[in-house]
Amino acid sequence: MSRRPRRLSACAFALAVVATATAAGEPPARPWMNASLSPDARAALVVQAMSQDEKFQLITTAYGSASDGKPAPACALGSAACAPALSRLGLPALQETDAGLGVARPLNAHSRDVATALPSGLATAASWDPAVAEAGGAMIGREAHRKGFNVLLAGGVNLLRDPRNGRNFEYAGEDPLLAGVMAGHAVRGIQSQHVVSTLKHYAVNDLETGRNTMNAKLDRVAARESDLRAFEIALGIGAPGSVMCAYNRVNGTYACENAWLLDQVLKRDWGYQGFVMSDWGAVHSAAKSALAGLDQESAGETFDPQMFFAAPLREAIAKGEVPQARLDDMVRRILRSLFAVGAIDHPAKAAPIDYAADAKVSQHAAEAGAVLLRNQDNLLPLARTLASVAVIGAHADRGVLAGGGSSAVTAPGGNAVPGLAPTVWPGPVMYHPSAPLAAIARRVGGKASYASGEDIAAAAKLAASSAVAVVFVQQWAAESFDRPSMALDGHQDALVAAVAKANPRTVVVLENNGPVAMPWLAQTAAVLEAWYPGNAGGEAIARLLFGEVAPSGRLPLSWPRDASQLPRPAIAGAGLAAIGLPPQGQPADTVDYDIEGADVGYRWFQRRGSEPLFPFGYGLGYTTFGYGPLTVTTDAAGAVTASFAVTNTGSRAGADVPQLYVQLPGEQVSRLVGWQKLALRPGETKRVRLALPAVRFARYDDRGHGWRVAAGTYRLLLGRSSAQIEQRAELRLPAVFPAGAQR
Ligand code: BGC
């Protein structure tokens, strides 16, 4: 659980000192600085010129922050990791920082710097708009570059198999295509700024409980069609310079020494040219890891039992256990990625950051990704002429909640609600200083009043005397633990019920990691899922509530009624004592993901014939949309083109997300194969034409080592969500063997 360093970083210092000493001498001619050469050619030239010590310097990084009372290494910028510059070769230091929601600093380094915080990964995924993901990626990549970082530990794409997973907010939901596309575009945005992005945590790190040892059991074909497919798609779109292998074991072998995952699937089958870095404390061996495909050990001096990619790997090479060529390949891959994104031609360095402009990027993502779950009698949007608004709960007078752990960003203005438990890892609990109360008050001429919700009777009284009540509820989640249940903490359920009873015109705004139980749902008029909305979240929420922007997010996950609907109703050992949820029992040694296999989320519900509270793809807006007839054509290569018209049939502008699913021959479950987000004025019609590559209709054939579309009749479904299908079309596809690189 604890992320406290296991050992001091003494040997990292020693290594850095040796490396600096050997860096003296005449600068060689540097043919690799010729930017007209390919990244591969440039990397190969550097490798030829490197000494063995320089190679070893590049395949490890050191923790980039002070820890356990010990100072940080000389290269440190107060971040996740660094490796000193190879000045003799003209190569900059590797400067790595977390994470996918903005530049995050670890532990005690938190207070030193601020950065723009994006809304949670689930919010971005819920926008169903790759441009939102890419713009967010470019913004945080730019900030990273301007803070001196050339590697951003972003690109979280573990599938949401359980709403209680503490890191869902860093990821992109339950569907491999949606998650892969959104994460891939985020990576592309980051790397457009000359910053290497990772894709993480490879693979099947779908729960936090017992993550350091837990064995994720998942059939290989099912893995290829679910968790691995999300990575494969994201790789194809984003070409991340690095992939971070996960803490857990996969089918019995640790991810960072798992030859099937790293060497076979990633590097051979997918042709991945970048480097594999370990998660912090995820390495368990030298030779085995190196031979399996691990290229860089991250902060091993602090987090691993020993620095495997130092003396032990040198020994393994000397003994011939690991070929020298493997070491050269590790180094080549790291360099290639740096050249490919321009990290060497455009070195990261301190430069001014326009935080106001960047906050707008974050705000746009929050607005595009908020999901309107309920809106009885069109209570929303609210009018600015309201006589009074009661704003209740979740510190809405001060800010909006963020998730915790290594991805937590300290936004400009700092933590709006400091001191909440836990104040140490995986805390601090962070509220970004964007208060919904002030944003709402600005829209109603100041006629908004706040009740903290601590005193339920006082909150209900305020609600009863107000024209509308907006209750904020929150659920803090963080890296390193899972929630034992879907229930909201404390007396929030009682609070909502009391407020809704006092005033039927009650709107609930959720700030959370994902699905929570909502026993009070039927009593409320409206519910807006705002996720962790980022550091302009208060403004975004107010704009959505007052209709300055229409909600257009769609759920990137299935929202269960309760945990009994999940493949694994309980997570043994889940919880965190510091927030009043003491873990019950021991974490399981093995988590059996074969229960649902590739039928994650909506496919699980379909297979079971059970109905979630809200289905994958669901979301309301302030207008209505009609769909014209669905027409489908296919070509000899098995590619499908679907086309239909979408009309805004209501009286307000809005954006819709028509979704296409397919049922493979003989299958009852469906699979998302395409979608488009489109904005329409009232009365406006747009034609949607979706080109669907053959691989989206394929199953993975383990014996044939590839994707295979079976000849047969497929049913294409046009829906508003995975459960609300408006039109169906049948199509016959020929047998084809599409490349996995197709998306
Ligand atoms: C997390 C990674 C993170 C790393 C560096 C680990 O605990 O799992 O996502 O990038 O720490 O902070």
Residue identified by tokens 């009372």 is 69
Distance from the CA of 246 to the center of ligand 1, in angstroms?
Answer: 9
Ligand 1 pocket: which of 157, 190, 247, 280 to mutate (most atoms within 8 A of CB): 280
Ligand 1 pocket: which of 79, 98, 277 to mutate (most atoms within 8 A of CB): 98
DSSP codes joined into one string, 204-255: T----TTTTT-EEE--HHHHHHTHHHHHHHHHHHH--SEEEEPSSEETTEEG
For ligand 1, is residue 98 a contact (CB within 6 Å)?
A: yes
Distance from the CA of 279 to the center of ligand 1, in angstroms?
Answer: 6
Residue 310 has pLDDT above 80, yes or no: yes
For ligand 1, is residue 151 a contact (CB within 6 Å)?
A: no
> How do residues 579-590 score in pLDDT, each as one tens digit?
999 999 999 999
Distance from the CA of 280 to the center of ligand 1, in angstroms?
Answer: 6
For ligand 1, is residue 99 a contact (CB within 6 Å)?
A: yes
For ligand 1, is residue 279 a contact (CB within 6 Å)?
A: yes
**Counting atoms of ligand 1 from 1, which one is nearest the CA of 156?**
9
For ligand 1, is residue 340 a contact (CB within 6 Å)?
A: no
The arithmetic mean of pLDDT across residues 410-421, rounded, is 96
Distance from the CA of 82 to the center of ligand 1, in angstroms?
Answer: 14
The better pLDDT of the pair 378, 741 is held by: 378
* Atom 8 of ligand 1, nearest CA residue: 279
CA distance linking residue 347 with residue 216, whole number of Å: 39
The better pLDDT of the pair 115, 12 is held by: 115
Residue 68 a catalytic site member: no
CA distance linking residue 400 with residue 476, whole number of Å: 11
The arithmetic mean of pLDDT across residues 228-238, rounded, is 98
Count the neighbouring beta carbons within 10 Å of the beta carbon of residue 691. Answer: 10
Residue 5 has pLDDT above 50, yes or no: no
pLDDT of residue 21: 35
> How do residues 282-299 score in pLDDT, each as one tens digit?
999 999 999 999 999 999
Distance from the CA of 356 to the center of ligand 1, in angstroms?
Answer: 28
Residue of 279, 397, 482, 656 with catalytic role: 279
* Atom 7 of ligand 1, nearest CA residue: 280
pLDDT of residue 107: 62
3-state secondary structure 361-424: HHHHHHHHHCEEEEEHHHCCCCCCCCCCEEEECCCCCCCEECCECCCCCCCCCCCCCCCCCCCC
For ligand 1, is residue 227 a contact (CB within 6 Å)?
A: no
Residue 704 has pLDDT above 90, yes or no: no
DSSP 52: H
The arithmetic mean of pLDDT across residues 230-234, rounded, is 98
The arithmetic mean of pLDDT across residues 409-438, rounded, is 96
Ordered strands of the 659-663 beta sheet: 671-675, 659-663, 712-719, 725-733
- Of the pLDDT bands very low, low, confident and very high (cuts 50, 70, 90), residue 620 is very high
pLDDT of residue 705: 81
- Of the pLDDT bands very low, low, confident and very high (cuts 50, 70, 90), residue 276 is very high
Residue 100 has pLDDT above 90, yes or no: yes
For ligand 1, is residue 280 a contact (CB within 6 Å)?
A: yes
- Burial class, 505, CB count within 10 angstroms (exposed 0-12 / middle 13-18 / buried 19+): buried
Distances 38 to 44, 89, 335, 336 between C-alpha atoms, Å: 10, 18, 12, 9
**CB–CB of 557/601 below 8 Å?**
yes
For ligand 1, is residue 170 a contact (CB within 6 Å)?
A: no
The arithmetic mean of pLDDT across residues 206-225, rounded, is 98
Which residues are within 8 A (CB) of 686 and not within 5 positions of it... i.e. 6 or more apart?
A: 645, 646, 678, 680
* Atom 4 of ligand 1, nearest CA residue: 280
Average pLDDT over all residues of the chain: 94
For ligand 1, is residue 80 a contact (CB within 6 Å)?
A: yes
Residue identified by tokens 């295509």 is 177
CA distance linking residue 176 with residue 178, whole number of Å: 6
**Counting atoms of ligand 1 from 1, which one is nearest the CA of 247?**
8
DSSP codes joined into one string, 425-484: TT----EES--HHHHHHHHTTT-EEEE-SSSHHHHHHHHHTSSEEEEEEE---BTT---S
- Of the pLDDT bands very low, low, confident and very high (cuts 50, 70, 90), residue 12 is very low
Share of the chain above pLDDT 70, in %: 95
* Atom 3 of ligand 1, nearest CA residue: 406
Residue 137 has pLDDT above 70, yes or no: yes
| Structure tokens given for 682 | 């009232």
pLDDT of residue 651: 96
pLDDT of residue 67: 85
Q: What region does 293 belong to: left with phi over 0, alpha with psi -120 to 50, or beta?
A: left
CA distance linking residue 551 with residue 547, whole number of Å: 8
Which residues are within 8 A (CB) of 318 and not within 5 positions of it... i.e. 6 or more apart?
A: none
> How do residues 142-153 score in pLDDT, each as one tens digit?
999 999 999 999
Distance from the CA of 298 to the center of ligand 1, in angstroms?
Answer: 10
